[in-house]
């Protein structure tokens, strides 16, 4: 389990992450996934933290210090990217206005040096930034794929 320590002045907590080290997490950084993530149904509380470059983020589990995901704005990967979200699919996230909802895609980092990372554009995370509720949706449209190669060096340049 993660070690959380309350920081009294602003309601933040200190979180120990195996990958990212000690993190100060503000309440506005927290997300709730009521049904968990695909493959991780027991993981429901995460911190969403900005990465080192525009469009990159870290999603750190609040329950498990070893569980962190690199996320990317899918529109930086493919400027023609589109993902249809029906209101009924995200009704459990609150009644979002279109300006309150964002999409982020999970990056899979390679196990071996020299291999290319991939990004899941077919199953993005849908986040209601007003309610801080999120879920992963999967499209039956496979034109973008779940393992699209991505050059992260271009994103951090």
Specify the CATH number for the domain of residue 31: 2.30.290.10
Q: Would the CA dihedral through 130, 105, 79, 76 be positive or negative? A: positive
Q: What are phi and psi of 152, to 5 degrees?
A: -65, -25
pTM, rounded to two decimals: 0.89
pLDDT of 125 reads 98
Q: Is residue 3 predicted with pLDDT exceeding 60? A: no
Total domains present in the chain: 1
Q: How far is the CA of 45 from the CAs of 24, 35, 118, in angstroms? A: 15, 10, 24
Residues 6+ apart with CB under 8 A from 5: 13, 14
Over residues 112-140, the mean pLDDT reads 94
Tokens coding 107: 């990056």
Confidence of residue 10 (pLDDT cuts 50, 70, 90): confident
Confidence of residue 9 (pLDDT cuts 50, 70, 90): low
Q: Is residue 8 predicted with pLDDT exceeding 80? A: no
How far apart (Å, rounded) are the C-alpha atoms in residues 87 and 62? 28
With beta carbons less than 8 A apart as the criterion, state whether 12 and 23 touch: no
Over residues 93-111, the mean pLDDT reads 88
- The percent of residues in the chain predicted with pLDDT above 90, rounded, is 66
Residue 55 CB burial class (10 angstroms; 0-12, 13-18, ≥19): middle
What does the DSSP assignment read for 119-146? E-SSS-EEEETTTTEEEE---S--SS-S
Confidence of residue 156 (pLDDT cuts 50, 70, 90): low
pLDDT of 94 reads 87
Q: Is residue 20 predicted with pLDDT exceeding 80? A: yes
What's the domain range around 12? 4-156
With beta carbons less than 8 A apart as the criterion, state whether 47 and 59 touch: yes
With beta carbons less than 8 A apart as the criterion, state whether 47 and 25 touch: yes
Q: Is residue 21 predicted with pLDDT exceeding 90? A: yes
Confidence of residue 19 (pLDDT cuts 50, 70, 90): very high
Tokens coding 93: 């996230």
């Amino acid at each position: 389990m993660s070690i959380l320590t309350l920081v009294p002045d602003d309601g933040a907590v200190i979180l120990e992450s195996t990958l990212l080290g000690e993190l100060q997490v503000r309440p506005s950084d927290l997300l709730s996934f009521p049904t968990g993530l695909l493959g991780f149904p027991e993981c429901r509380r995460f911190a969403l933290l900005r990465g080192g470059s525009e469009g990159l983020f870290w999603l750190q589990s609040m329950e498990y210090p070893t569980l962190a995901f690199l996320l990317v704005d899918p529109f930086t990967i493919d400027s023609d990217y589109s993902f249809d979200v029906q209101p009924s699919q995200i009704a459990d996230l609150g009644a979002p206005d279109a300006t309150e909802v964002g999409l982020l895609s999970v990056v899979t980092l390679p196990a071996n040096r020299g291999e290319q990372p991939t990004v899941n554009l077919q199953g993005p995370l849908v986040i209601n930034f007003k309610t801080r509720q999120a879920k992963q949706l999967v499209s039956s449209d496979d034109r973008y794929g779940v393992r699209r190669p991505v050059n992260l060096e271009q994103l951090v340049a």
